Structure 1
């Protein structure tokens, strides 16, 4: 894989990043969640985007890690809100320690993200900070919308796409835009990078929704069926509520009405998954994801650069399309 050397450099940078030492209860959870791995796709998108324009892409490493630290900060807090037991196949921070520790450690991670962004050249720093601030606020807006949707039965597909754009996609867009800004690319070019990241992010989240239902537990790293158990308004649930009729609709509404603890979760996951399959929603979700990935590739193709220069970034984008975890 042509992007492997960049991934190795990112992993090494993460290993050597210091967050603080005392009190240990504050900083150990940060080291723990950052050590759990993951695809590191956000920092990888940053360094690969910088590499489009400059050979010394290493100057993008610390800012790229800032994006990863911020992303993990949001995961730490999201896991508390979702009562999630697992993250990347391991206990979540609030399960391993407690919710208060996870909240406070997450706060320090946000501070650390700003510290790492200070490695950006002074001439570019104000623009980078403004764009990061806007993106961070949008991620929080997306999370709030996601929680709002849990209490609504009338969420539209358009609203859902708008929510995942904020919660997930804008950070991928910023990650790519950041690489371009560090490399000194003009605004038209960084806008193309942002557009590519946002569309790939939409495809990525739709694929994630699909894997949450149909993924291999050994590869997925999270609790398969977690969205079904929590009645989360995913693309497939929204479509199922629109398309289901007769007994299928009654069965779906019955499962949605049951309180957690009053049923076997594996039974609910199996039943709702079967409804999705009967309605063809696995195919529909994959088609939607592919459409957004295609828009992302189109933006990359429009970058005024030699194909060979774009090869590592395009190869990584192709990896995202075919992922199973």
Structure 2
């Protein structure tokens, strides 16, 4: 196994390169929020996937650090705007941009980040930058579609499982897919090979979000890093709630509906009552089955690449670490 693509080294280099990005300095109110959100931390999963995909065929990953950071800048742009829409007070345990400054500043800073993505992508050494930009544009629009669907779901009484899977595919998974596709293309893969990498990332991303839904209810508080049961408290239509409504009999459905509608109920009591219903219905097991289905699809797609197994080791190991996460 090649050692120059060690995950820790890659993450360290990504963090160093983020600090070296020069967005601009004046007016400070526009650029300080960008530096702030990008240095709050995070897993750097998306640019890391770009580097790992590139590394399947090539070893000089330093050449694509800036294009790889494009997906991280775009991801953080979506977080800034999502936090405004959700009126979220915290992001990664710190004050959100719109709370620390104001919503108008957050919108402008986010817009600037979204434009700067193209500057970073244009650093790519490729004979077909137009194709890469079109693939990114498609991904960016799909992320917006997913966010709109997620907001639509807040006011829709009933959501089908297939609709939820489609929403998380757009909102979360397609950017993981593009991150891998970008790395594959820059590493010399054909468009057809890079599409297989993209599909691998999309399947992984869906499984990743389903795991997040499960951890929100069944994760350990000290490991999960945020309030367990938060989705239940906010009546968020996750896969678990959708599956519970599908499996419940009339009495169970009525009980669940009353729990969701009760605005006076103690939050801990609500979480425990809904969780008890989930346990009765086998919702956790059904959700894990669906999650594992997408993880299996991901690895089956990756195995379609005609590449030596040793070239895929680090990418597979990183994917397995995502599957095994407990936070």
TM-score (norm 2): 0.93
Superimposed CA distance per residue, residues 130-189 of structure 1 (whole angstroms, 9 cap, x where no aligned partner):
000000000000111111111112211011111111111111110000001111211221
Partner residue, 1:38:
42
Unaligned runs of 5+ in 1: none
Aligned length: 323
1:82 paired residue among 80, 83, 86: 86
CA distance in 2, matches of 1:15, 1:272: 44
Three-state SS of the structure 2 residue aligned to 1:289 is helix
CA distance in 1, matches of 2:230, 2:27: 33
Deviation at 1:263, TM superposition (A): 4.2
Partner residue, 2:51:
47
Three-state SS of the structure 2 residue aligned to 1:36 is coil
Partner residue, 1:237:
241
Aligned residues of 2:180 and 2:197 also touching (Cα < 8 A): yes
Deviation at 1:119, TM superposition (A): 0.6
Deviation at 1:92, TM superposition (A): 2.3
Deviation at 1:62, TM superposition (A): 0.8
Partner residue, 1:120:
124
Deviation at 1:44, TM superposition (A): 0.5
Say yes or no: does 1:15 pair with 2:7.
no
- The 1:42/1:148 distance shift into structure 2, 3 A limit, reads same
- The 1:80/1:277 distance shift into structure 2, 3 A limit, reads farther
1:18-29 equivalence runs, <5 A: 18-29=22-33
Aligned residues of 1:165 and 1:201 also touching (Cα < 8 A): yes
More displaced 10-residue stretch of structure 1: 27-36 or 147-156: 27-36
Partner residue, 2:114:
110
Aligned residues of 1:86 and 1:223 also touching (Cα < 8 A): no
Deviation at 1:238, TM superposition (A): 0.6
CA distance in 2, matches of 1:96, 1:270: 34
Three-state SS of the structure 2 residue aligned to 1:53 is coil
Give the superposed CA RMSD.
Answer: 1.8
1:1-325 equivalence runs, <5 A: 2-259=6-263, 262-325=264-327
CA distance in 2, matches of 1:235, 1:18: 40
- The 1:95/1:281 distance shift into structure 2, 3 A limit, reads farther
- The 1:36/1:273 distance shift into structure 2, 3 A limit, reads farther
CA distance in 2, matches of 1:232, 1:41: 25
TM-score (norm 1): 0.93
Deviation at 1:85, TM superposition (A): 2.9
Three-state SS of the structure 1 residue aligned to 2:123 is coil
- The 1:267/1:11 distance shift into structure 2, 3 A limit, reads same
CA distance in 2, matches of 1:271, 1:239: 16
Superimposed CA distance per residue, residues 168-216 of structure 1 (whole angstroms, 9 cap, x where no aligned partner):
1111110000001111211221011011001001100101111222223
Superimposed CA distance per residue, residues 214-234 of structure 1 (whole angstroms, 9 cap, x where no aligned partner):
223433334433322332211
Deviation at 1:26, TM superposition (A): 2.0
Deviation at 1:316, TM superposition (A): 0.4
